[in-house]
Amino acid sequence: MKNKRGLELAINTAVILILAIILLVFLVLFFTGASENFLVKIKSYFSYSNVDEIIETCNFFADTNSMYSFCCEKRNVKYYNNEKKAEGLFSCIEIADKFDTKKLNCEEASC
C-alpha cells in the first residue's frame, strides 16, 4: 500500500461519474417537460397540503373513465382550514364538486 494515488484517482472518477449521470437525468427531465410532474411530486413532500396532487389524480381518473376510482375510493386530503392543518377522506366526486374540476357521472357507479 505504498502508492495510494491510483485508488484516489479511481474514487474521484467514480464520484464525478455519478454526479454527471445525475445532472444528465435532471437535464433530460427538464427539456422533455417531465420536470413539471417531477417538481410537483418533490414539492408535495415538503408541503403539508396535498390538494393539488389529489386534484391531478382525480383529473386522471376522469380522463380515463375510471368510474370506481373516481366515484367510490376515498383519498386522504390534507389541507389548511383557517390557517390550521386539517385532513379528511374525500372521493374525487366530492372534490370535483368543491373545486369545480373534471367530473364523471357517478349515478352508474356501484360502490
Same domain (yes/no): 111, 60 = yes
* Residue 109, SS3 per DSSP: coil
Q: Among 32-36, 81-85, 95-99, where is mean pLDDT lowest?
A: 32-36
Strand partners, 57: none
Residue 15's domain comprises: 1-45
- Residue 9, CA distances (Å) to 15, 19, 31, 68, 105 in order: 10, 16, 33, 57, 64
Same domain (yes/no): 64, 108: yes
How do residues 13-68 score in pLDDT, each as one tens digit? Answer: 889 999 999 999 888 877 776 666 666 666 666 777 788 888 888 888 888 888 88
Whether residues 22 and 64 fall in one domain: no
Q: Are residues 40 and 93 in the same domain?
A: no
Is 90 exceeded by the pLDDT of residue 7? no
